[in-house]
Structure 1
Amino acid sequence: MAKIRVLPENLANQIAAGEVVERPASVVKELIENAIDAGAARIEIDIESGGRRLIRIADDGEGMTRDDAVLSFQRHATSKISRQEDLAAISTLGFRGEALASISSVARVEMITKTDLDLAATRVRIEGGTLLDVSDAARDPGTTIAVRDLFFNTPARRKFLRSEATENYHITGIVTHYALVNPEIDFRLTNNGRSVLETPTSISIRERAFQIFGAQILESLIPVNGGREFVAKVSGYVSAPRERRTNRDSQYFFVNRRFVRDRTIADALRDGYRSILPHGYFPIAFLLIEVPVEEIDVNVHPAKTEVRFRRPDAVKDVVTEAVREALAAAGIRAAADDAAPAVPVAGSVTSQSSLVREQEREIQSEYNDLQESRQAFVETLPGLNTIAKTLFEADSRLLTGEPDDRASQITKQDRVNLEEKNESPTSALSQTEFTGPYPTLPPIVNAEHFLKPTEPESGRASLIRVLGQLNNSYILAADNDGLLLIDQHVAHERILFDKFRNKSGNLPSQNLLLPETLDLTPAQAEAYDISCEELELAGFRTMRLSGRTIAVKAVPPDIPASEAKMLLSEILDNVDRERRGRGTAIIRDSIAASMACKAAIKVNNPLTTEEMDWIISRLLLTSSPTTCPHGRPVILRLSLHGIEKAFERI
């Protein structure tokens, strides 16, 4: 008996549905693409229970005849292509003929459609891939498709769906993408009867961006218009550096008006902003790339969100060049040194932060107590300044291997002084000013392993002595095991994160003189509905106004009023969408992390010895002194063993 057999058509469709219909948002995407290909000027999307119970999409496109309506549910039945050569010149969003067959195999589907020439509309009902009924119906020209009880016959697939809020988020994202790139189409999205998105017909992407994202983003948009013949044409908008995000959720890429997730374009955009945005921040972008159809393959995956460029490097160069030219035209240029961002982190200052000044009295008191119990173990001299500067000199010779005879300037007398004198490190640093030039070390073998992340013991705060501050950004300290380099921003961020997260009850608030209004994106509005209670506990006092606009009436006292809107927008962006509805702890951590990052001492901020001592002592009492809430290292150690090995003493 033969072991190999042809699968039943319905089973084959269910297998195909595993790739085409990943979640309710996949159904919405496929049906919206069909409506756009049908020439619709208005598309209405209604969902219930995150798309599990109902997805209904109605359009005013050209509709289908009865024969076409029935045939459209057959696998690989399509009006988009008919010859093999058509695959090399695809200009429509759909073309595979798999969507309706796959959707109808795992749901209860009803289609009502009518053309201008039909006297009556046609209703087609299919359940689990089985045709139930074909009959007359009443409808204006166009098509309505209702998908009910998604995955009703595949419970294993249904249980892998996320929470209703998560599925709503993904659906909203899909509709937002297609509404943005099709300003000539009127999109309406409702969720459980509540309006989520309304975008009347627009004349440009800029106007559509205003409808979706509000005036705040509109004011920062910079037009992009560039390209290279026979490679790609690039148009759209990118944001000024002041309007940025901590993730890529606000980057929208379209290739030949098809929504794509493409690493080539994302990397090109990143390169366009190199040395303009700080590390970890991303611009807002709406980029439309037009590529000759013979230069691109859209038949990469059934979901059609991936494309393959014939010349990806050329496309990347074109996009990067277009973005750089747009920024340059707006007077924004990259710094000459890639290592130094041209735009500082928001809120960077050159003097003490207001937060530090407010805590000065508390710090001084705690510092006095700390000094009484501290056991001094590092004895130093002005000569130590030379050695410390030598070890941490940011000189290219350290990595390139270029020798420097100036290292001999560390004199024998310096070493004698180190053995005989007895002064505090802070006193020594205050007596000698770093004016340069300074001697540099000969190259260190495997320098990348010389400084390593470390985790000092929480009880050893009294054994750590502050030596000074490097570049107004890093605390230099020492203990019995070597030297420590502490990032003051992420260290303070960890301290504040634990404070905000562990605070029981409501955090205090400070009222704003005048309430601020904030226009939320559709995705942010979904996040706000879920996290508003946690925002209240965190010290935010907000109120929902009309549509997607909220009023901010009060903010936590650690947050400057000028940064309240940006912080709240960032918090809503950073709520972990995949974990919504699983508990408030995830939301609370996300809010605490965003607040801590915004309120923490910034780089390029001089600190007193007392303030640096306070940071170290408090850091060692936190839940995780080695990393900030976002996973970045806080402390690097230059071990005594490593120093002796570098000097070839062992």
Structure 2
Amino acid sequence: MPRIRILPEILASQVAAGEVVERPASAVKELVENSLDAGAGEILVEIRRGGAALLRVIDNGSGMSRDDALLSLERHATSKLADSAGLASIRTLGFRGEAVPSIASVSRFRLVTREPEAVSGTEIAVEGGVMRDVREAGCAPGTVVEVKDLFYNVPARRKFLRAETTEAAHVEHQLRMHALASSGVRFRFRKDEREVFDLPAGMSRMDRVRWMTGNDLGRELVTLPLTHGNGLSVEGFILPAGHARKGRRHQCVFLNGRPVEDSAISRGLAEGFRGALTDGLHPCAWLWIEMEPTLVDVNVHPAKREIRLHRPHDLREALNSAVREGLAQAEAARRPQPLPPAPPPQRQPMAVADRAVAPAPLPAAKPATIWPASIPVKARQLEMPQVAPLPEPQADARKTLPFRYVGTLLDRFAILESADGLVLLDPRAARERILYERWLAAEGGSHSQGLIVPVLLEPGPRECDLALRHRDEFARAGIELEAFGTGTLRVGSLPDFLRVGDARAFLTGLIDELASGQIPGARLGFEALARQLARRAALAEAPRPQEAMKLLEILFDCELPYCAPDGRPTLTEYSLRELERRFAGGKSAGL
């Protein structure tokens, strides 16, 4: 065994950096939290090449003196915690004193700071944890932290960074979270010399949530009633159950101004919907929780994302009741109000010369017309895309079907009779197989249909990055995507055989599901995308088992008709011998 020894200070800081600084977004989080703790009213964040080449945080906070600036680069040096008693009532975002020295140990670091009453400021340069220069500097009040070449001296960490667009998307997501948590602070974000957003100070929480979700979803926000009691208060917004998403990335929860994650909060939200959520989906929510600091422990995770509540049941119940009441009020507001009774008609005297005129007959009703999705009506597009049906079966397909339709089971499965016994058909699995093979056959996008009115999606920066990185695969599937501003995608075309009623919800759910299951940085193959598209398109349609025979005719034109793309069976057969054995109680049926 080698002898035990104390780690050198720089190595200890690099080890700590592995816990605190996972990627550029982690460094931005720590530095922005320091700015907020310093009372900044305006924060500018600039990055280049996803933050790996440069990230700069500029604030107009309280700044530091020369001595404090030098101390801030020492490990465990902090102005926010004086003794162990203070650990039980943390009111600041940072308190450990590890972030700044850890970041400086794995980068080329520069700190420029000045207190408002000071004549001059202080500039400190650090390279890989070694201090290179300390001098006076002329600067505005506040602090500038510049981090260049992150992980340049720790190649094992640097090689795990993802594509520049992915890292930039994580930085943007982190800043959006801070902007939601601190609506009274102006946040500016610049990426590769281009301004991404500039949020003025003083915006309401509702305005910031609408900025994050977009106007369409913003109109559907449900305001939760303010809840007080047991040392906590809760307020915020949710979206109806129809907008539930895969994973909890769209649950933005802030406890005492800190973005947090906790299972009690997620459960309380879900329970408030009273079973209206599909399995595996979670509601979208934006919550601000204020709680006595003594009731929560924020010192249980290196990055302070997770917390430990002393009375989780109280918070869970508060959220449950707030969500129920908010949804009930929203439902009551949507109900049409009865109109007041109309006053009786006033009879007007008729002149003698007036002649009674019989009312003109109404025109005969015309049958409803089903418009193609691309036909404009008064410069607007109708509900889309109710488009082409599934391909017609081959002419001789009917002659070869070995089944007879019997009926339906729970309006979900089709019951069929075969020469060997009983067969159950899963219409959704069958449609998945049909659509999957249709996508593979149409690879290249030659069967796409342009939309007169493009669809705009706002799934979020990280989801946008995923979709744009795989733009070619989407194009091969007949879905044309392009960037349309920050966190927004523009969809210009869809496959002509896709049959969904709400294209925006369909595509948003697809991208969200891909993001939740995608390995970071991995490429998305076209076949995997086709499988996901087929599954979601099949789920968007009612099963309609009564149409089993027509569906079977199309299904048996497929190369692999007996299974869905993920291997689930489309048809399950119970042979007559097996049925006889079941009814004979395991004894021989004499067959």
Q: TM-score w.r.t. structure 1 length?
A: 0.74
Quick one: which of 445, 470, 473 aligns to 1:506?
445
Residue 385 (structure 1) aligns with:
none
How far has the Cα of 1:371 moved from its partner? 4.0
Deviations 1:571-594 (A, max 9, x none): 4434448656544526x7347624
Residue 266 (structure 2) aligns with:
266
Q: Does structure 1 conserve the Cα–Cα contact (< 8 Å) formed by 2:460 and 2:488?
A: no
Quick one: which of 389, 392, 397 aligns to 1:358?
389
Q: Say whether 1:7 aligns with 2:38.
A: no
Q: Say whether 1:585 aligns with 2:525.
A: yes
Instruction: Indicate the SS of the match to 2:469.
Output: helix
Instruction: Indicate the SS of the match to 1:252.
Output: strand
C-alpha distance in structure 2 between counterparts of 1:80 and 1:643, whole Å: 77
Q: Say whether 1:495 aligns with 2:434.
A: yes
Q: Does structure 1 conserve the Cα–Cα contact (< 8 Å) formed by 2:264 and 2:316?
A: yes
Q: 1:314 to 1:546 in 2, by over 3 A?
A: closer
Q: Does structure 2 conserve the Cα–Cα contact (< 8 Å) formed by 1:501 and 1:592?
A: no
C-alpha distance in structure 2 between counterparts of 1:244 and 1:523, whole Å: 18
Q: Does structure 1 conserve the Cα–Cα contact (< 8 Å) formed by 2:421 and 2:573?
A: yes
Residue 415 (structure 1) aligns with:
none
Instruction: Indicate the SS of the match to 1:608.
Output: helix
Instruction: Indicate the SS of the match to 2:546.
Output: coil
Deviations 1:368-418 (A, max 9, x none): 633433456xxxxxxxxxxxxxxxxxxxxxxxxxxxxxxxxxxxxxxxxxx
Residue 557 (structure 1) aligns with:
496
Quick one: which of 619, 622, 625 aligns to 2:563?
625
How far has the Cα of 1:549 moved from its partner? 5.0
Q: 1:608 to 1:491 in 2, by over 3 A?
A: closer
Deviations 1:83-131 (A, max 9, x none): 1110110011101111112111111111111110111121111111111
Q: Does structure 2 conserve the Cα–Cα contact (< 8 Å) formed by 1:13 and 1:105?
A: yes
C-alpha distance in structure 2 between counterparts of 1:304 and 1:246, whole Å: 24
Instruction: Indicate the SS of the match to 1:330.
Output: helix
Instruction: Indicate the SS of the match to 1:152.
Output: coil
C-alpha distance in structure 2 between counterparts of 1:320 and 1:618, whole Å: 50
Q: Does structure 1 conserve the Cα–Cα contact (< 8 Å) formed by 2:172 and 2:461?
A: yes
Q: 1:520 to 1:267 in 2, by over 3 A?
A: closer
What one-letter code is carried by the residue in structure 2 that aligns with 1:245? R
Q: Does structure 2 conserve the Cα–Cα contact (< 8 Å) formed by 1:232 and 1:291?
A: yes
Quick one: which of 496, 503, 507 aligns to 1:568?
507
Q: 1:2 to 1:567 in 2, by over 3 A?
A: closer
Quick one: which of 364, 369, 372 aligns to 2:396?
369
Question: Which runs of 5 or more structure 2 residues have no equivalent in the other structure?
Answer: 334-383
Deviations 1:182-205 (A, max 9, x none): 111121222222333332224321
Q: Say whether 1:649 aligns with 2:554.
A: no
Q: 1:354 to 1:51 in 2, by over 3 A?
A: closer
Q: Does structure 1 conserve the Cα–Cα contact (< 8 Å) formed by 2:42 and 2:59?
A: yes
Residue 90 (structure 2) aligns with:
90
Q: 1:519 to 1:6 in 2, by over 3 A?
A: closer
Instruction: Indicate the SS of the match to 1:211.
Output: helix
Matches within 5 A, 1:94-493: 94-227=94-227, 229-230=229-230, 232-331=232-331, 358-359=389-390, 362-363=392-393, 366=394, 369-375=396-402, 425-426=404-405, 429=406, 468-477=407-416, 483-493=422-432
Q: 1:644 to 1:296 in 2, by over 3 A?
A: farther
Deviations 1:411-470 (A, max 9, x none): xxxxxxxxxxxxxx42xx3xxxxxxxxxxxxxxxxxxxxxxxxxxxxxxxxxxxxxx322
Q: Does structure 2 conserve the Cα–Cα contact (< 8 Å) formed by 1:489 and 1:601?
A: no
What one-letter code is carried by the residue in structure 2 that aligns with 1:178? H
Q: Does structure 2 conserve the Cα–Cα contact (< 8 Å) formed by 1:559 and 1:599?
A: no
How far has the Cα of 1:212 moved from its partner? 2.3
Instruction: Indicate the SS of the match to 2:43.
Output: strand
The structure richer in helix per residue is 1
Deviates more, 1:56-65 or 1:41-50: 41-50
C-alpha distance in structure 2 between counterparts of 1:643 and 1:354, whole Å: 48
Q: Does structure 1 conserve the Cα–Cα contact (< 8 Å) formed by 2:256 and 2:291?
A: yes
C-alpha distance in structure 2 between counterparts of 1:316 and 1:632, whole Å: 38
Counting matched residue pairs gives: 535
Residue 470 (structure 2) aligns with:
531
What one-letter code is carried by the residue in structure 2 that aligns with 1:499? R
Deviations 1:466-510 (A, max 9, x none): xx3223222334668875544322431243234324533224222
Q: 1:513 to 1:148 in 2, by over 3 A?
A: closer
Q: Say whether 1:30 aligns with 2:30.
A: yes
How far has the Cα of 1:13 moved from its partner? 1.4
Indicate the RMSD between aligned Cα atoms, in angstroms: 3.2
Q: Does structure 2 conserve the Cα–Cα contact (< 8 Å) formed by 1:524 and 1:569?
A: no
C-alpha distance in structure 2 between counterparts of 1:602 and 1:156, whole Å: 48
Question: Which runs of 5 or more structure 1 residues have no equivalent in the other structure?
Answer: 334-352, 377-424, 430-467
Residue 52 (structure 2) aligns with:
52
How far has the Cα of 1:217 moved from its partner? 1.5
Q: Does structure 1 conserve the Cα–Cα contact (< 8 Å) formed by 2:468 and 2:483?
A: no
Q: Does structure 1 conserve the Cα–Cα contact (< 8 Å) formed by 2:232 and 2:290?
A: yes
Q: Does structure 2 conserve the Cα–Cα contact (< 8 Å) formed by 1:197 and 1:522?
A: no
Instruction: Indicate the SS of the match to 1:304.
Output: coil
C-alpha distance in structure 2 between counterparts of 1:148 and 1:51, whole Å: 8
How far has the Cα of 1:595 moved from its partner? 5.9
Q: Does structure 2 conserve the Cα–Cα contact (< 8 Å) formed by 1:567 and 1:595?
A: no
Q: 1:564 to 1:50 in 2, by over 3 A?
A: same
C-alpha distance in structure 2 between counterparts of 1:10 and 1:496, whole Å: 58
Q: 1:267 to 1:616 in 2, by over 3 A?
A: farther
How far has the Cα of 1:53 moved from its partner? 1.3
Percent of matched pairs sharing the same residue: 35
What one-letter code is carried by the residue in structure 1 that aligns with 2:389? E
Residue 19 (structure 2) aligns with:
19
Q: 1:497 to 1:186 in 2, by over 3 A?
A: farther
How far has the Cα of 1:315 moved from its partner? 2.1
How far has the Cα of 1:31 moved from its partner? 0.8
Matches within 5 A, 1:60-75: 60-75=60-75
Residue 338 (structure 1) aligns with:
none
C-alpha distance in structure 2 between counterparts of 1:64 and 1:591, whole Å: 56
Q: 1:484 to 1:39 in 2, by over 3 A?
A: farther
Q: Does structure 2 conserve the Cα–Cα contact (< 8 Å) formed by 1:558 and 1:599?
A: no
Deviates more, 1:308-317 or 1:519-528: 519-528
How far has the Cα of 1:328 moved from its partner? 1.3
Q: 1:226 to 1:375 in 2, by over 3 A?
A: same
C-alpha distance in structure 2 between counterparts of 1:646 and 1:65, whole Å: 88
Q: 1:516 to 1:372 in 2, by over 3 A?
A: closer
Q: Does structure 1 conserve the Cα–Cα contact (< 8 Å) formed by 2:388 and 2:498?
A: no
Q: Does structure 2 conserve the Cα–Cα contact (< 8 Å) formed by 1:491 and 1:619?
A: no
Deviates more, 1:46-55 or 1:161-170: 161-170
What one-letter code is carried by the residue in structure 1 that aligns with 2:400? S
Deviations 1:301-355 (A, max 9, x none): 111000001122332222122111211111189xxxxxxxxxxxxxxxxxxx997
What one-letter code is carried by the residue in structure 1 that aligns with 2:312? P
C-alpha distance in structure 1 between counterparts of 2:229 and 2:580, whole Å: 56
Q: Does structure 1 conserve the Cα–Cα contact (< 8 Å) formed by 2:428 and 2:543?
A: no
Q: Does structure 2 conserve the Cα–Cα contact (< 8 Å) formed by 1:75 and 1:98?
A: yes
C-alpha distance in structure 1 between counterparts of 2:75 and 2:489, whole Å: 47
Q: Does structure 2 conserve the Cα–Cα contact (< 8 Å) formed by 1:490 and 1:600?
A: no
How far has the Cα of 1:55 moved from its partner? 1.4
Q: 1:541 to 1:251 in 2, by over 3 A?
A: same
Q: 1:136 to 1:646 in 2, by over 3 A?
A: farther
